[in-house]
């Protein structure tokens, strides 16, 4: 979901340009923006491990990383989907099965991949899912399950590689959050907290691993055209659908390109569109405005019902 959905501000409008100019720092003479490290990271010959890599953003990120010369390893639950993805991506792609909610399974999968393809240089903690629904309508266990997959799954992925990165004094940890990790959204009471948690983890971890020259990034994709998003659309409450209905989802390739570019440029915050970038840099200022707008959209949808 994007700011245009919530505020009605058209992309390219003077109002949006003014907001972006206020909240997004202008490039410095060397082309960098605030929160971006000066040094660059090459993905050529790097070993990139991606959880949730069999489809959607993970699979697209694998393709983008391979195009930059990386060796890529995918981790996901379904053997058939992993095998199909690896076949399509070619000889630079390896894979191993694991449920990211199982710490031991993730550790075993990473060990297997490292043995075959070398130490992990970049970990992209991408695995996750959402089951939209009103708080009181969701199964009680759903909150625990989404936290185990979306948040603890990332913790387990990092735990499997961080010792090696610290010993080598290099590496990059990339967490895939969501626009719903910047602003809570109606119908995502189970999902949004898991994505907010990733942001907090990344910010705290960044300080801890900085002396070891390990970089940390957080990605905030907007609505993205993936198989998982299609499943969400089948069960979204009408109010949730109304909030996002005015904006066309971005393609996974676009998000993947932003991820790879952000990793190479050591960006702390990675976004795939200027509207989400504005929210990421100015959520504290924009939050009240966006919440009021969403409340109006929810009331309008409920009136129709």
The catalytic residues are 177, 191, 195
Pairing of strands 71-76, 224-225: unpaired
Alpha carbons 198 and 181: distance in angstroms, whole number: 8
Which residue blocks in the chain are alpha helix, DSSP H?
3-7, 14-23, 56-67, 79-89, 103-117, 142-146, 152-168, 191-209, 227-235, 238-244, 252-264, 274-304
Does residue 185 contact residue 236 with C-beta atoms inside 8 Å?
Answer: no
Cross-strand pairs, 133: 188
Provide the 10 A C-beta neighbour count for residue 66: 19
Q: Three-state DSSP class for 132?
A: coil
| Residue in 168, 154, 159 with CA at minimum distance from that of residue 214 | 168
């Amino acid at each position: 979901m994007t700011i245009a959905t919530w505020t009605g501000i058209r992309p390219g409008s003077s109002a949006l340009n003014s907001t972006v100019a206020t909240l997004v720092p202008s490039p410095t003479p060397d082309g960098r923006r605030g929160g971006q490290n000066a040094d660059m990271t090459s993905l050529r010959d790097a070993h990139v491990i991606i959880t949730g890599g069999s489809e959607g953003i993970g699979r697209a990120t694998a393709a983008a990383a391979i195009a930059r010369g990386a060796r890529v390893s995918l981790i996901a639950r379904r053997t058939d989907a992993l095998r199909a993805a690896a076949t399509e991506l070619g000889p630079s792609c390896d894979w191993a099965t694991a449920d990211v909610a199982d710490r031991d399974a993730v550790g075993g999968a990473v060990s297997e991949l490292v043995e075959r393809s070398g130490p992990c240089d970049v970990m992209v903690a991408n695995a996750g899912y959402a089951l939209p629904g009103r708080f009181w309508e969701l199964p009680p266990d759903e909150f625990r399950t989404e936290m185990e997959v979306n948040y603890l799954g990332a913790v387990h992925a990092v735990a499997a590689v961080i010792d090696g990165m610290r010993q080598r004094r290099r590496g990059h940890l990339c967490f895939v959050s969501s626009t719903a990790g910047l602003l809570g959204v109606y119908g995502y009471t189970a999902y949004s907290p898991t994505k907010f948690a990733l942001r907090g983890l990344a910010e705290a971890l960044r300080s801890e691993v900085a002396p070891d020259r390990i970089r940390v990034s957080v990605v905030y994709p907007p609505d993205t055209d993936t198989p998982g998003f299609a499943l969400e659309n089948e069960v979204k409450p009408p109010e949730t659908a109304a909030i996002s209905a005015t904006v066309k989802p971005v393609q996974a390739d676009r998000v993947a390109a932003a991820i790879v570019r952000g990793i190479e440029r050591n960006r702390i915050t990675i976004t795939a569109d200027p509207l989400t970038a504005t929210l990421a840099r100015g959520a504290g200022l924009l939050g009240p405005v966006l919440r009021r707008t969403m409340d109006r959209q929810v009331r309008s949808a409920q009136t129709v019902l």
